[in-house]
């Protein structure tokens, strides 16, 4: 048994070493501007926007929209700053399935999934010819997936997110180095420069339009109910981290606590 635990720890060690960063999140202490009280303003997993110190009493919120820089000043008295330690999420922690729930009832599941005869498709050429991605189909015969009803502070108060997850070195891959993101910038002076590990998920595989975006892609046993396609639209993204000390998933500023 001890040898098994040691082997599992060794497998997770590469991700463990790089994922033990600190996630800093900035929340609206009170309602102001477009923000509701308690709403996430920005966190350090955001590849486009960031919060920096401006002076003793003010933060500067700034970002880069495709080369167009923007910024605004926010009083520090309007902001609550929280720091969390990101941890690797091992497959042993999830097992067959794990449910995570926010304090106001929003729920996320991570579960073992199966292709169940379905395939993964990509698009090629100027006419977007739909072809089967044999490599991705083989890789997703058995995998993990995330499906959840997430809280939103915008037009819709809740929205669905469902996506296959990768497993790397015995851990579910939630983290990526900022310089590896396609949105990143290696220039130290750039607003998108992120020289650290970030908790970031991008919805690269989606259900076909004809299937219906809000319909579940998986049944109760984790079997795929439809083929999946490479996302041709602007992908939904999650700021995400496993907070072992809180026994919770952090998703877009909200904590979803692991259920017994």
Helix (H) or strand (E) holding 167: strand 167-168
For residue 66, is pLDDT > 90? Answer: no
26 band by pLDDT with thresholds 50, 70 and 90: very high
Q: Which two tokens stand for residue 216?
A: 């579940």
Q: Determine whether 141 is exposed, middle or buried from the number of CB atoms within 10 Å of its CB (0-12, 13-18, 19+).
A: exposed
pLDDT at 179: 87
- Using CA atoms, how far apart are residues 193 and 238, in angstroms rounded to an integer? 18
The total number of structural domains in the chain stands at 2
Please tell me whether residues 230 and 165 are part of one structural domain: yes
Please tell me whether residues 109 and 125 are part of one structural domain: yes
Residue 55's beta-bridge partner residues? 58
Domain hosting residue 232, numbered range: 89-258
Q: Across all residues in the chain, what is the average pLDDT? A: 89
Please tell me whether residues 80 and 208 are part of one structural domain: no
In a domain, 9, yes or no: no
Please tell me whether residues 106 and 55 are part of one structural domain: no
| pTM listed for this prediction | 0.88
In a domain, 179, yes or no: yes
Please tell me whether residues 28 and 112 are part of one structural domain: no
SS (H, E, C) 38-106: CCEEEECCCCCEEEEEEECCEEEEEEEECCEEEEEEEEHHHEEEEEEECECEEHHHHCCEEEEECCCCC
The string of pLDDT tens digits covering residues 166-183 is 999 999 999 999 988 888
In a domain, 8, yes or no: no
Residue that is last in its domain, among 51, 69, 85: 85
């Amino acid at each position: 048994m001890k040898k098994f635990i040691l082997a599992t720890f060794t497998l997770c060690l590469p991700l463990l070493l790089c994922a033990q960063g600190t996630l800093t999140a900035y929340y609206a202490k009170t309602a102001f501007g477009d923000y509701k009280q308690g709403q996430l303003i920005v966190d350090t997993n955001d590849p486009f926007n960031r919060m920096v110190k401006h002076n003793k009493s003010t933060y500067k919120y700034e970002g880069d929209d495709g080369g167009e820089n923007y910024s605004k000043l926010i009083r520090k008295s309007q902001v609550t700053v929280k720091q969390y330690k990101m941890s690797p999420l091992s497959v042993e922690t999830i097992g067959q399935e794990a449910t995570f729930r926010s304090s106001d009832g929003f729920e996320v599941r991570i579960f073992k999934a199966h292709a169940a005869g379905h395939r993964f498709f990509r698009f090629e050429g100027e006419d977007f010819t739909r072809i089967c991605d044999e490599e991705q189909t083989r890789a997703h015969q058995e995998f993990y997936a995330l499906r959840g009803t997430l809280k939103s502070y915008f037009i819709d108060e809740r929205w669905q997110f469902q996506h296959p997850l990768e497993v790397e070195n015995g851990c579910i891959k939630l983290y990526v180095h900022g310089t590896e993101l396609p949105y990143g910038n290696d220039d130290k002076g750039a607003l998108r420069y992120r020289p650290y590990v970030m908790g970031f998920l991008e919805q690269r595989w989606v259900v076909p339009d004809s299937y219906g975006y809000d319909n579940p892609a998986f049944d109760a046993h984790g079997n795929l109910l439809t083929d999946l396609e490479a996302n041709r639209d602007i992908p939904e993204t999650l700021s995400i981290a496993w907070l072992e000390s809180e026994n919770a998933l952090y998703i877009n500023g909200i904590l979803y606590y692991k259920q017994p």
